[in-house]
Structure 1
Amino acid sequence: MDSAKNMAYRQLSSVVNPSISTNFEPPTIINGSQFNRTTLSDNFQKQEQFFERIATLSTSEQKSYGYSVSDLINYCTYMGERCDLSNDFESFYNPLHGNCYVYNSGWNDSKQIVTATREGPKNGLEMVVNIDQMDYVKQAGSLAGIRVVILDQNQMPFPEDEGVSVGPGQLTYISLQRHEINRLGSPYGSCTEQLFDPFTSAYSAFYNVQYRAKGCEYTCYQKKIMHECGCIDFSYLNITALMENINADNMSLCQSGNFEQG
């Protein structure tokens, strides 16, 4: 590691492993649960503590600990033409995966969407990705590699729930076919043509992406947690800026072992 990465790693280690113990308490039995969560594994506790601490940092601090697109991608072409890493990729921060990068996203109206004119592995997107496994923080998980999600333009990826994992030292080909489904609105159903609705999906407000059912589910879940428990689930998007009658200053992060919040 170079000096800059060494410094960032030491800073991150101080965040992950503070000198003061956090006294993580295993949760008590939940009424109505189908199993007794009285004993949590050490790995689970460490991962929860890690992500909870990272969630307390500002967005800029969180991104600074992750890889930049130039550090992550060593080589990139689309239909044989070199990618412009600084302009061809949009980025977002995922609470579980860190810095994520989207090629040909359609999120920025000023950037032209590229299309493929021929099929085959040489006529699509080719990348060589730097895994740099030696720099991994073990508290973040035991897996190495990258997560690849393929979507249409103007849509938000959710790599924790979809996509494929690509391990280090592997040559991987991904081919796909597109199936388009058009759902009818009134009077045949309740579907709407309003694709950008921050009320039903906070991701539309933050990233200018179209409505997706998964984004709506995550938004509704976070709203429910904030109203019922008075805290923010760090695994999902922080939507306090969009919530009415919510004092963001009084809203803390939910503690994974505390089932009595709120």
Structure 2
Amino acid sequence: MVLKSPPAEPTLPRLCGDLLQHTTAHGIANVFRAGHWCRRLLWAVFVGFALCCALWQCTEMVLNYYRYPSHEKITLASNTVLQFPAVTLCNLNGVRYSSVRKNGAMSNSLQDLSLQQSRRRNKSSCWNSTCPDAPLESDSYPRALRKFASEFNQLPDKEKIAMGHQLEDMLISCNFHGHQCDTSFFSGFIHYKFGNCYTFNSQKTTDIRGAAIRGEALNTTRAGFVYGLHLELFIQQIEYVREVTHSAGIRLLIHDHAVTPFPEDEGVNIPPGTETDIGTMKVLIKRLKSPYGSHCTDGDGIKNFYHDVYGSRYTRESCKRTCVQLNIMENCGCSHWEFAAPPDLRYPKCNLSAVGVSECVELYGYKFAHGMLPCNCPLQCKEELYQLTVSGSQWPSSAFIEKFSSDLKEMGGQLSTIAESPQLIRDNLVKVVVYYQQLNSQQIEEEPSVSEIDLISSMGGLVGLWVGFSVCTLAEFFELLVDMLLYLLRRCLWKAVPHTYAKPCAEIGSPAFTGHKTTDM
């Protein structure tokens, strides 16, 4: 009987050598298969260079991924139904002249303002000549204008509403999508400069006085001039305060219904005596939150007085105005009427006639205008904008004005007083049409430039290019790792078990082991 020798015990060098000689990673196996030492050296240098290049480029990819780059994707979405935007309109004259004359303090302030305006003109006419009677003191017209505005904004909201232009007096005709509309389609708010402002399709349930109105959203199913919002407005130039309001017309904004409009910074002026057609296109912007570059927010954890007062959504502009209001409250001890302030904070409104208050408010207004306040106001993650195309024509036309004049006489009131004069009609009436140019909306969406899948795919491609690694190659090295762990485990167990025989094969030659019998000689 011939006994076979037991297989050689595996060792770590043998395990590693077997894998490296037969691995699917191109180049590594050639280091061990090369017959001459010079070829082995060249292959080793080349494989080392390829590994370094692969490691360098993979590191650059990982670092670029953690810079969180992004890009913008622009798409044009076609819609069969599109929500109509909110349309806010304000008379450029904030307070009616007849109401000012009934208020003693504002009437006196208006007289001071008129006097300062006359002095300002006289001083301006003497700018390039010698006028011995010219005032030497600094121009106080802006101070008088601020005083007039301050006294108006110190009044209770109910009085300010009553002093402003009323929608019932301004709205002559309203038509949306071919159907009549009235004042119940408009909500409102008080603006520190323009007085009463009214918003069509705001989706709020109360008007400027708190009365119930229609709050459902209005949609449009057709694009074009005919299916938009048609408004005819009476701006009441006879009620304009000449010392304050130097231009006539309507301030109009088109905006998202969920945000607070700021007429002093946004919108367009609509002059009287014209029909102004405003074609619009909706633009939806979506941004990525941190850690991407825009660092946008939905307003969580950020103080926003405009949400507290009006229930509006977070915007960067509302955050900035809240920030300056907080700074004025903390440092001046009052709330500025130019910015929103919740009544529960119990800060009095700033009286700019008081000593030191005007200088303090002006200081923080200057810092706000020049970006010097420490305000954390990132961009909003979702924003709706409306691109406008504005055109105009004379209205009413010479052929139509006679018929229109007779219609105004039948309406009565102040309208009947201007009906006889075509010039007064054109000086006091405004027509505006707001419509979608097409039922398409543009979407600008910020997207990650490198996703996790892109990173893994690019790294796999680089490693495959330089050293020929694939998923199967990784499986081979994983198998090697398992074999090495099993080898170490067997070694540990072999050392832990006591050995009865130091040389178990020493008994192979004995008679008892081979089964041979001994004979006596």
CA distance in 2, matches of 1:62, 1:142: 21
Partner of 1:259: 359
Aligned pair 1:56/2:161, yes or no?
no
Partner of 1:120: 224
Selected match of 2:203 from 80, 90, 106: 106
C-alpha deviation, 1:11, in angstroms: 1.2
Partner of 1:8: 99
Secondary structure in 1 aligned to 2:276?
coil
CA distance in 1, matches of 2:275, 2:110: 44
1:156-235 correspondence to structure 2 within 5 Å:
156-188=260-292, 190-194=295-299, 200-235=303-338
Aligned pair 1:70/2:160, yes or no?
no
User: Structure 1 counterpart of 2:108, which letter?
Assistant: P
C-alpha deviation, 1:231, in angstroms: 2.8
CA distance in 2, matches of 1:20, 1:135: 14
C-alpha deviation, 1:136, in angstroms: 0.9
Q: How many aligned residue pairs are there?
A: 236
Q: 1:132 to 1:218 in 2, by over 3 A?
A: same
Selected match of 1:80 from 174, 178, 182: 178
Comparing 185-194 with 87-96, which one deviates more in the overlay? 185-194
C-alpha deviation, 1:139, in angstroms: 3.4
If the length of structure 1 is used for normalisation, what is the TM-score?
0.78
User: Structure 2 counterpart of 1:92, which letter?
Assistant: F
Q: Which has the larger radius of gyration?
A: 2
Partner of 1:26: none
Secondary structure in 1 aligned to 2:226?
helix
C-alpha deviation, 1:137, in angstroms: 1.6
CA distance in 2, matches of 1:18, 1:216: 36
CA distance in 2, matches of 1:175, 1:219: 33
CA distance in 2, matches of 1:141, 1:72: 17
Residue ranges of structure 2 left out of the alignment (5+ in a row): 1-95, 114-136, 207-213, 364-521
C-alpha deviation, 1:260, in angstroms: 5.4
CA distance in 2, matches of 1:144, 1:172: 14
Task: Judge conservation of contact 2:329–2:347 (CA < 8 Å) in 1.
Answer: no
C-alpha deviation, 1:242, in angstroms: 4.9
CA distance in 2, matches of 1:40, 1:236: 27
Task: Judge conservation of contact 2:97–2:239 (CA < 8 Å) in 1.
Answer: no
User: Structure 2 counterpart of 1:112, which letter?
Assistant: E
Task: Judge conservation of contact 1:107–1:154 (CA < 8 Å) in 2.
Answer: no
CA RMSD for the aligned pairs? 3.2
C-alpha deviation, 1:217, in angstroms: 1.1
Richer in strand (by share): 2
Partner of 1:93: 190
Cα deviations by residue, 1:73-112 (Å, 9 ceiling, x for unpaired): 1111111211131x21111000000000000012349721
Q: Runs in 1 of length 4+ with deviation above 4 angstroms?
A: 19-23
Task: Judge conservation of contact 1:73–1:127 (CA < 8 Å) in 2.
Answer: yes
C-alpha deviation, 1:9, in angstroms: 4.8
User: Structure 2 counterpart of 1:258, which letter?
Assistant: S
Partner of 1:40: 139
Richer in helix (by share): 2
Q: 1:175 to 1:21 in 2, by over 3 A?
A: closer
C-alpha deviation, 1:255, in angstroms: 4.5
Aligned pair 1:248/2:248, yes or no?
no
Task: Judge conservation of contact 1:46–1:139 (CA < 8 Å) in 2.
Answer: no
Q: With CA pairs under 8 Å and 6+ residues apart, which has the higher RCO, 1 or 2?
A: 2
User: Structure 2 counterpart of 1:234, which letter?
Assistant: W
Residue ranges of structure 1 left out of the alignment (5+ in a row): 24-37
Q: Percent identity?
A: 29
Task: Judge conservation of contact 2:308–2:342 (CA < 8 Å) in 1.
Answer: no
CA distance in 1, matches of 2:239, 2:111: 24
C-alpha deviation, 1:135, in angstroms: 0.7
CA distance in 1, matches of 2:253, 2:353: 29
CA distance in 2, matches of 1:240, 1:150: 26
If the length of structure 2 is used for normalisation, what is the TM-score?
0.41
